[in-house]
Amino acid sequence: VCSRRDADKLIEEGRVQVNGQKAVMGLQVSDEDEIVVNGKHLPGKNDKVVYAYYKPLGVTCTERDRHADKVLTQQVKLPGRLDKDSEGLILLTNDGDLIHTMMNGSGNHEKEYIVKVNKEITGEFLQNMADGVFLKELNRRTKPCKVEKIGKFTFRIILTQGVNRQIRRMSHALGFEVTAIKRIRVATVELAGLLP
């Protein structure tokens, strides 16, 4: 029906009922409970599905950007996330618990990227990226990660946390600008032979 944040808001606004009673935050429900949102009965639990999707450049992964030319939900009918100016693997699913677990940094699930930058990559840059970078605008240090140079301006990076625009922020803090990002793996799911 909606995202977790939107669900919290609906509950706070009193627009959700469980078995005829106003829902409260933290209420435990089961498949047998009758749930009504804005006066409409919700169907029973869905079968869980997961799709591997190659998001091309230029597609925005949010429905809330009214300036976006192409929105992911116009391409496919399930939610996902990757910057508009990035491409690569997105897992699309109706299993909110799965995505929350995989994308939450505490799960240490690996996400692997191929990244191009505007300057020649140095050993110092690679070591700083691997050690974790302090992001002044967020007042936090990124977790240590695996980084490998694979070309003059290209590197492979494996992250285990989900800071918004993390690779771009890390590179920028070290004086580099990202020119291209492609996510090639999430946990054990690989982009492999998928086409945009």
Instruction: Please measure the distance between the N-terminal and C-terminal CA atoms of the chain and give it in whole angstroms.
Output: 27
- CA-CA distance, 153 to 18, in Å (whole number)? 55
Name the one residue in this structure whose structure tokens are 């230029």: 58
Contacts of 134 (CB under 8 A, 6+ apart): 140, 141, 173
Please give the structure tokens belonging to residue 149. 């140079």
- CA-CA distance, 77 to 74, in Å (whole number)? 7
Length of the chain: 196
Please give the structure tokens belonging to residue 54. 């190659």
Question: Which residue numbers are catalytic?
Answer: 83
Amino acid identity, position 148: E
Please give the structure tokens belonging to residue 195. 């086409």
